[in-house]
Every structure is written in C-alpha cells, then in structure tokens.
C-alpha cells in the first residue's frame, strides 16, 4: 500500500503511479464536479423562486432566458458589479475570510458523494473509463461520511465569523443564534448517522450505497424510518432553512448574519446556502435512499448512466420538499427550536441507535427475537416516562420561580 492511496482515498484509480491517463481522469472529475455543482446551484435558485412563486400564486422570474432560467446568472453578474462595502467597525481580515469559510465546505462535500456508477450484481459501483476502473465520485476517503460532519462543523465558522466581524448588532445576534443552533443539531445529525453506519458496517460512502441494493435494504426502511426523520429535521436546521431559519429571520434581525455584506461577498453566502441545500439532499439520498441504486432497470440505458439518472431523480424530490417546507411552514420560536433539538431529537436518536444495536446483537448471538424486542420496548418506554417526568418537573420548578420560559 503506497502513499497515494492513503492520501487520496480508496478509489482504485488512485493506486499505483499517477501517470497521464489516471491523472487526467481525476482532473476531469474535479472539473466536472465543480461545474455540475455551480450549474445545479444556479438551477436550484431558479427552481426555488419559481416553485415558491407558483405556491404563492405569482409568476416568478420569467424575463431572463426561456422561463426565466438565466435569472440567477443575471443576478450573479449584477452582484459582481455592485460596490463592495467594508463597514467601518468591521474586523477587516475576518470579514473578508468568512464568505470563503461558508462557501468552500459546501463545495467539498460533493467530493464524497457517489454521483453514479453501476452497483448492480456486486459490481461495487466501479466503472471503466479509458481502460481504468474508477468510481463516479471525486474521492472515497476511508473516513467517508465523517468528512461530511467535519465540513458541516467548519461551515459554522463562516456564518459565526461573518456576523461577529461585521461589528454591528443584528448580524452578531444572528451569528450567536446560528452557532448555538448548529452545534445543538449537529449532535442529533451525528447520532442518526451512527444508526446508518451501524447498518452498513462501513464509513465509506460507496460502501454505504453498495449496502442498499434493493428497496428493503434502503436504510430508510432497514433502520426503521426514525433516523431518517431525525436526520432530515437536523439537516434542515443545519442548513438554516425554513422552518429553522432563525439565523436570518428578516422580521427580527434585518437580514441576519449577512446584513453588512454586499456585492460578491454576499453572493458567496447566497451560493453557499443554495449549494448546501443540494448537497444535503444528495447526502440524504446517499445515506437513506440508496444513492445511485435504482428500483428497477431502465431499459436501453447502460448501468452507469442509469445510476446518475436515479440519483438526480431522488435528489429532485428532496429539493422540492425543501422548497415546499419553505413555502408552507411558519418559523419556529427560538426556545421551541432548542426544546425540539435537545429534548426530543437527541434522546430519540440515541434511544433508537441503542435499540438497533441491541436487535443486531440479538441476531448475531441467536437470541430470541420476541424476548429481545419486548425487553427493549419496556426499557425504552421506561426511559421515555422518566424523561418526560424530568422535563415536567423542571418546567414546574421554573414556573414556580417565576421564569418566563
């Protein structure tokens, strides 16, 4: 095993000497991921505006290009030519750094998502390009999905520092909210992810996709829906999207953490936000819905391309769900948000993880399934009762002391 494998991940193309053809393929993948990411974000902005307009009985963008498709491009060019303001009381270096800290993690997550490939009949997602076996994903590092958690924790810095370095009250309030919210929900995100890792038995994203070869093996089914629901809620909170968009609540905070930003720096935050929505949808599809694995064979299309078609179709469903939630759900209050995160999502994900682990252990050790299930159910019910009593008692205590919350 040589150096390059360890550093570049477990893609077979990165093993051995990196001479022309493999190097070109990797470069091609980098460029392709970059371009696909940007174009997808552009279309996502258009899609969101159009869909929300439709739900609000309006027309939405319809002037630039056919069906207003080029509206985002026009807005981007306009942002480039606007004046770049630097507030007087801003911390100059951090103020300039923050947009990049928000934007770069959004891009990097794309590297570990399998974008296609043939997973049928034990082919393991490998395709052959120009005589070299490779995966249709930029990198397949051994830590796999942990990279996703690491990057989402870096993304906090972008928002937090943007608000602080503006040297102004409302952005600071926005960023304090953001950091508390994102740190709280990261725990639930990680714990529901742990259930998936338990089922797949591997951290690598291609391994997780490879484990979901039929509908009943899709992790949304095999982990029993709960981790998916928790992950979806926690991911929405991580993205700061409605109904968890307290970070940029216009009515309370002007524009939230990005109030003082203008020109292309604002554009970077905007891009990062929409790109994060797409990446998170792709991550949900990868973890719970089999990624590029299809439900049935589409006739007449080779396996590798079929995978990409399935992936795009599944991601589109989640993008629509995100837009739909934005158009229909009112924003949470801050204490409601914290209650949901700490008192419901984290205990629920932890309890479900333990249940899955016990069921798995029981299967490995040949214990009686019925007994295991009944004992586990009794213990879980006991824990829920204990938890809700504790919450009730502490709430009663606070009310007696005259606290407002």
Residue 23 within binding range of other proteins, rule CB under 8 A: no
Residue 68 within binding range of other proteins, rule CB under 8 A: no
Q: Which helix (H) or strand (E) holds 142?
A: none
Residue 10 within binding range of other proteins, rule CB under 8 A: yes
Q: How far is the CB of 160 from other proteins (least distance, A)?
A: 6
- For residues 352 and 175, give the distance between their C-alpha atoms in angstroms, rounded to a whole number: 32
Residue 150 within binding range of other proteins, rule CB under 8 A: yes
Tell me which residue has tokens 């742990």.
Answer: 194
Q: Which residues pair with 134 in a beta bridge?
A: 127
Residue 74 within binding range of other proteins, rule CB under 8 A: no
Q: How far is the CB of 355 from other proteins (least distance, A)?
A: 19
- For residues 88 and 90, give the distance between their C-alpha atoms in angstroms, rounded to a whole number: 6
Q: Which residues pair with 127 in a beta bridge?
A: 134
Instruction: Choose, by CB under 8 A, the member of 65, 87, 142, 294 that binds other proteins.
Output: 142
Residue 1 within binding range of other proteins, rule CB under 8 A: yes
- For residues 80 and 168, give the distance between their C-alpha atoms in angstroms, rounded to a whole number: 24
Residue 317 within binding range of other proteins, rule CB under 8 A: no
What are the structure tokens assigned to 254, written together?
A: 């002007």
Instruction: Choose, by CB under 8 A, the member of 143, 374, 384, 393 that binds other proteins.
Output: 143
Ranges within 178-207 binding other proteins (CB under 8 A):
179-180, 182-183, 186, 190, 201-204, 207
Cβ(138)–Cβ(201) below 8 Å: no
DSSP secondary structure, 238-280, as one string: HTT-TTS-GGG-HHHHTTGGGTT--HHHHHHHHHHHHHHHHHH
Residue 401 within binding range of other proteins, rule CB under 8 A: yes
Instruction: Choose, by CB under 8 A, the member of 90, 115, 172, 323 that binds other proteins.
Output: 172
What are the structure tokens assigned to 361, written together?
A: 């252990």
- For residues 340 and 348, give the distance between their C-alpha atoms in angstroms, rounded to a whole number: 11
Residue 160 within binding range of other proteins, rule CB under 8 A: yes
Cβ(49)–Cβ(71) below 8 Å: yes
Q: How far is the CB of 23 from other proteins (least distance, A)?
A: 15
- x/- mask, other proteins, residues 205-244, rule CB under 8 A, reads --x-------------------------------------
Cβ(359)–Cβ(373) below 8 Å: yes
Query: Of 177-185, 348-356, 358-366, 377-385, which part binds other proteins (CB under 8 A)?
Result: 177-185
Q: State yes or no: cis peptide before 243, omega within 30 of 0.
A: yes
C-alpha torsion sign, points 151, 281, 54, 77: positive
Query: Of 54-62, 245-253, 330-338, 396-404, which part binds other proteins (CB under 8 A)?
Result: 396-404
Query: Of 4-12, 22-30, 61-69, 75-83, which part binds other proteins (CB under 8 A)?
Result: 4-12
**Around Cβ 302, how many Cβ atoms within 10 Å?**
10
End-to-end CA distance of the chain: 58
What are the structure tokens assigned to 393, written together?
A: 């008692």
- Complex with other proteins: residue 60 or 210, whichever CB lies closer: 210
Instruction: Choose, by CB under 8 A, the member of 43, 94, 354, 380 that binds other proteins.
Output: 94
Instruction: Choose, by CB under 8 A, the member of 131, 299, 330, 402 that binds other proteins.
Output: 402
Helices 169-200/145-165 angle, 10° precision: 180
Contact positions vs other proteins (CB under 8 A) = 1, 3, 5-7, 10, 12, 15, 91, 94, 140-144, 146-147, 149-150, 152-154, 156-157, 160-161, 164, 172, 175-176, 179-180, 182-183, 186, 190, 201-204, 207, 397, 401-402
């Amino acid at each position: 095993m040589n150096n390059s494998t360890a550093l570049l991940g477990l893609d077979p193309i990165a093993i051995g000497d990196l001479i022309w053809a493999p190097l070109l393929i990797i470069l091609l993948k980098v460029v392709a991921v970059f371009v696909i990411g940007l174009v997808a974000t552009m279309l996502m902005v258009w899609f969101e505006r159009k869909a929300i307009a439709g739900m609000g009985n309006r027309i939405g963008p319809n002037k630039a290009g056919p069906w207003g498709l080029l509206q985002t491009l026009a807005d981007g060019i306009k942002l480039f030519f606007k004046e770049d303001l630097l507030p007087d009381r801003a911390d100059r270096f951090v103020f300039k750094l923050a947009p990049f800290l928000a934007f770069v993690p959004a891009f990097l997550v794309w590297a570990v998502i399998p974008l296609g490939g043939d997973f049928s009949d034990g082919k393991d997602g490998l395709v052959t390009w120009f005589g070299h076996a490779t995966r249709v994903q930029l990198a397949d590092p051994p830590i796999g999905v942990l990279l996703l958690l690491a990057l989402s924790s870096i993304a906090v810095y972008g928002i937090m520092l943007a608000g602080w370095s503006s040297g102004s009250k409302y952005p600071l309030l926005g960023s304090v909210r953001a950091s508390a919210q994102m740190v709280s929900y990261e725990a639930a995100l990680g714990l529901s992810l742990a259930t998936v890792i338990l089922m797949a038995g591997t951290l690598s994203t291609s391994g997780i996709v490879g484990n979901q070869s039929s509908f009943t093996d899709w992790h949304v089914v095999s982990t029993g829906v709960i981790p998916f629901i928790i992950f979806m809620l926690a991911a929405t909170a991580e993205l700061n999207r409605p109904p968890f968009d307290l970070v940029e609540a216009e009515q309370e905070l002007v524009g939230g953490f990005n109030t003082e930003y203008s020109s292309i720096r604002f554009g970077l935050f905007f891009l990062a936000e929409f790109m994060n929505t797409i990446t998170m949808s792709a991550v949900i599809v990868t973890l719970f819905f089999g990624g590029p694995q299809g439900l049935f064979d589409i006739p007449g299309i080779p396996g590798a391309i079929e995978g990409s078609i399935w992936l795009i179709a599944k991601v589109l469903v989640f993008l629509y769900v995100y837009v739909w939630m934005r158009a229909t759900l009112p924003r949470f209050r801050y204490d409601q948000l914290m209650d949901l995160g700490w008192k419901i999502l984290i205990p629920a994900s932890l309890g479900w993880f333990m249940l899955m682990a016990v069921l798995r252990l029981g299967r490995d050790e040949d214990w009686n399934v019925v007994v295991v299930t009944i004992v586990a159910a009794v213990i879980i019910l006991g824990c829920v009762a204990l938890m809700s009593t504790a919450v009730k008692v502490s709430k009663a205590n606070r009310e007696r002391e005259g606290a407002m919350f």
